[in-house]
Structure 1
Amino acid sequence: MAVVSTSLAGAAVSSHLTQFSGLRKSFLKLDNTSSNSTHSFFQNVDSHLRLASSNKGCRGVVTMAGSGKFFVGGNWKCNGTKDSISKLVSDLNSATLESDVDVVVAPPFVYIDQVKNSLTDRIEIAAQNCWTGKGGAFTGEISVEQLKDLGCKWVVLGHSERRHVIGEDDQFIGKKAAYALSEGVGVIACIGELLEEREAGKTFDVCFQQMKAYADAVPSWDNIVVAYEPVWAIGTGKVASPEQAQEVHIAVRDWLSKNVSAEVASKTRIIYGGSVNGGNCAELAKKEDIDGFLVGGASLKGPEFATIINSVTSKKVAA
């Protein structure tokens, strides 16, 4: 597939992304003939528009892919102590959260048991990594079976820090994902480009290569959430504009349609990560193909994380 420039101006994007008052386009068809044509990228809009109604008051909720729910994950990374995590859990337990959101947090391995035993069942637990198979003589690794024993329902795989700091390659990550899924653990499958790759116009090439590694390995997409995280926006304070994020989400959904199936493309939730906070989440959440967030630093602040979770209201429209 031809590379399409990822630096579309907001005006150009808005002129082609028609607002449907909550109607969510399942995906747009990418043009294969020109890498420079903004117009051709947005010409073919998929004709299947999805709209779900809610019985909650007089409000309707835009249908989210897959389960019909917005998805927000909190990646706590290598942060926290027993005391600070106890405070964070307390804040989350007392927060008022919208009901139509799947919420997951990923504590450091050493605190998973503490969090599982004290956090409300409203929020599920994820691990930040796992091994490629069963346990054994693999010093320092943690198996999926052990994660399940602690009550983990999800695992974050392919995060840029694992790729670019630890050195995990696409195939290794795909192998991890396949094993986790085979054991009934959901995968938050991360993809994303470096700053130099974006500036070189390679955003789609990089993301599609990472997607292919998952597709080549996994037995099914039923329990996968794709997290697009531009590496240049992770922990830097720089955030992809809603238009930039939507552009990549559309492209990833189109890739799934062409390389896996239209059904998988329609069902798979694609969430955004990269310096998401309480101030920018609402505008990002309004975009049709942004199905939620994977949150780093802001997930360590209970009230702000709750604000991000509740940004699902940005997708609600008058019924």
Structure 2
Amino acid sequence: MPRKIAAGNWKMNGLSDAMPEAIAIGAASEGLDCATVICPPATLLARMGDAGVTLGGQYCHPAGSGAHTGDVSAPMLADAGATWCITGHSERRADHRETDADVRAQTEAAWDAGLTAILCIGETLEEREAGATLDRLMAQLDGSVPEGANAENTVIAYEPVWAIGTGKTATPDQVAEVHNALRERLGPDMALLYGGSVKAANAAELFALANVNGALVGGASLKADDFVPIMRALSES
């Protein structure tokens, strides 16, 4: 059975005064039947080491070190306490023009540093309205997922671009169609996460779908009061 994972992507949010939220999330994760991962900004990674929660980076440079001002390498993330890393998030693909080849290289770098990759794929609204969702997602898998990906080193997160931070959520039928296709493509063991305005109100319905093994959560992961109900809904699914 695929593992169940509640992952929180804090994006460019969080200062020192956010530490109590991470501690509360870590405390609430004890005894739950799911893994809980928080991906804070790099400035908080090391300080969150005692929060009792598994940590991840939001991005890693393909190189292990070098003249790359402002970037963070996978070994640096691991050194700061991370065991996971998001790769290919649509905001990185859009804001930083990251290609499938870039995402593949980052994912390989994450593996080399001992990190599990949460590799993101997703279609735009225009692609969905054109009926090209599955074609787009399969092309992203072809270009982004390195050879050697397995259920231990990689998790796939489906995040429709049009549902990230918009308050819009794909319908259960839309999510099921995509996740069923991903399961057929990727086999029975790899965890498949859904992301896109996941919140306590819709978590149980999403996790009831056969091939949804968890969520990559944005804004609702910043506060324990919002994220913990999602974690519990996954644990109980």
Q: Mark yes or no: TM-score above 0.5.
A: yes
Shift of 1:174: 0.6
Shift of 1:313: 4.6
> Are 2:90 and 1:160 equivalent residues in the alignment?
yes
> Are 2:30 and 1:78 equivalent residues in the alignment?
no
Q: How does 1:210-225 map to 2 (within 5 A)?
A: 210-215=140-145, 217-221=146-150, 222-225=152-155
> Are 2:233 and 1:299 equivalent residues in the alignment?
no
> d(CA) in 2 for partners of 1:96 and 1:129?
24
Q: Name the structure 1 match of 2:32.
A: 99
Q: How does 1:198-213 map to 2 (within 5 A)?
A: 198-213=128-143
Q: Whose helix proportion is higher, 1 or 2?
A: 2
Shift of 1:166: 1.6
- Structure 1's consecutive aligned runs of 4 or more residues displaced over 4 angstroms after TM superposition are none
Instruction: Work out whether residues 34 and 235 of structure 2, in 8 Å CA contact, stay in contact via their aligned partners in 1.
Output: no
Cα shift readout 1:284-312 (whole Å, capped 9, x = no counterpart) = 00000000000000000102211101112
Q: How does 1:1-319 map to 2 (within 5 A)?
A: 64-65=1-2, 69-83=3-17, 85-95=18-28, 97-116=30-49, 118-120=50-52, 123-215=53-145, 217-221=146-150, 222-256=152-186, 265-315=187-237
> d(CA) in 1 for partners of 2:109 and 2:26?
32
> d(CA) in 2 for partners of 1:148 and 1:183?
7
Q: TM-score, normalised by structure 2?
A: 0.95
Instruction: Work out whether residues 203 and 234 of structure 2, in 8 Å CA contact, stay in contact via their aligned partners in 1.
Output: no
Between Structure 1 and Structure 2, whose CA radius of gyration is higher?
A: 1
Tell me, what secondary structure is at the counterpart of 1:293?
A: strand
Structure 1 residue runs of 5 or longer lacking an equivalent are 1-63, 257-264
Structure 2 residue runs of 5 or longer lacking an equivalent are none
Instruction: Work out whether residues 29 and 231 of structure 2, in 8 Å CA contact, stay in contact via their aligned partners in 1.
Output: no
Shift of 1:214: 2.8
Aligned length: 236
- The letter of the residue matching 1:253 is R
> d(CA) in 1 for partners of 2:4 and 2:22?
21
Distance 1:313 1:131, change over 3 A: closer
> d(CA) in 1 for partners of 2:147 and 2:72?
20
Distance 1:180 1:282, change over 3 A: same
Tell me, what secondary structure is at the counterpart of 2:93?
A: helix
Q: TM-score, normalised by structure 1?
A: 0.71
